[in-house]
Structure 1
Amino acid sequence: MHNLIAHALIQNEKGEILIIKRTLIKRGKMNYEGGRWDIPGGTVEPMEFPSDTAIRETKEEVGLNIKILTIIFEKSIRDKVKKAVFTTLIYRGDVIGNTDIVLDLEEHDEYRWVKPKEILEMDNNLLVSYMKELIQQL
């Protein structure tokens, strides 16, 4: 089984990156990597292009409309327990129109705009697994 996940990296005019903190509980269940900082994104639905997933998830999770510029990161991992491969694609996205953040509080309970250097200085336990590798490639 192969699972595809797509995210959007969004930077403001100061070069700061939008990060969002995952809730510990999501719809009554433990949230995967709950309590860690991530960027908007989620699972690609059947017959959906990954770039469209990044756009949709950004709108759902933080209320922003974005346009996709380019793919900037890809990482695959094999989960032997789940007998599945998970591939994460990350796109650079630009905000279109309104820049007000409106969090989906079922999934994320906090957001911040941070400089890439600040992310690299954060404790690994506070970030989703791919975050520092992504930032180092920017």
Structure 2
Amino acid sequence: MSVKLIAHALIQDKQAYLVIKRSVTKRGQANVYPNYWDIPGGGVEQGELPRAAALRETLEEANQAITITGILHEDSQFDCQKQTVFTRLVYAAHLKEERPVLLDPEEHADFRWIESLEELEGEQIVPYLYSLIPTISGNSQ
């Protein structure tokens, strides 16, 4: 059995959160959660700390330099087929500076700044975001 760490950043700028839409394929392979809205993040590399991975992934995936202010969420799942425990860490983050969002088209198809998940109504959203991004009423689901 192996363990894989995944680090994400929930970026808040004023009252909005950055979400990015996963592409159907990722570097020629079927993507996990294709066409789902997610937040920047990815695998922690060998010898890398999770915080550093969240910073790196956010820069690589969305061209955003961020400051991490704390940890918001942790969850773990066991993948029987891969015999791997996947642990996700989500950090709270703010922008260091105003920059254009530039996506890697091999990984993501679109982005939006949203204030609530209702703005994505009718679209697919990765499940863990429901506990992180507020609804219009200001409460998380």
Question: Could you tell me the TM-score, scaled by structure 2's length?
Answer: 0.88
**Which amino acid is 2:121 matched to?**
M
- Cα 1:36–1:46 change in 2 (3 A) is same
Match of 2:7 in 1: 6
CA deviation profile, 1:91-135 (whole Å, cap 9, x unmatched): 01111123311111111010001113426x735x70113111333
CA distance in 2: counterparts of 1:75 and 1:134, whole angstroms: 12
RMSD (CA atoms): 1.7
Counterparts of 1:1-138 in structure 2 under 5 Å?
1-13=2-14, 15-118=15-118, 122-123=121-122, 126-135=124-133
Q: Which has the higher helix share?
A: 1
The 1-side partners of 2:84 and 2:132 are apart by 22
What is the percent sequence identity of the aligned residues?
A: 41
* Partner SS state of residue 11, structure 1: strand
Question: Distance in 2 between the 1:99 and 1:118 partners?
Answer: 25
SS in structure 2 at match of 1:58: helix
For residues 37 and 117 of structure 2, what CA distance do their matches in structure 1 show?
15
**Equivalents in 2 of 1:44, 1:129: separation in Å?**
21
- Supply the distance in 1 between the matched residues of 2:64 and 2:133 (Cα, whole angstroms): 21
Structure 2: gaps of 5 or more residues? none
Partner-residue secondary structure (3-state), 1:87: strand
Could you say what secondary structure the match of 1:103 adopts?
coil
Decide which moves more: 29-38 or 74-83.
74-83
Deviations 1:15-39 (A, max 9, x none): 1110000000111110111110000
The CA deviation at 1:11 is 1.2
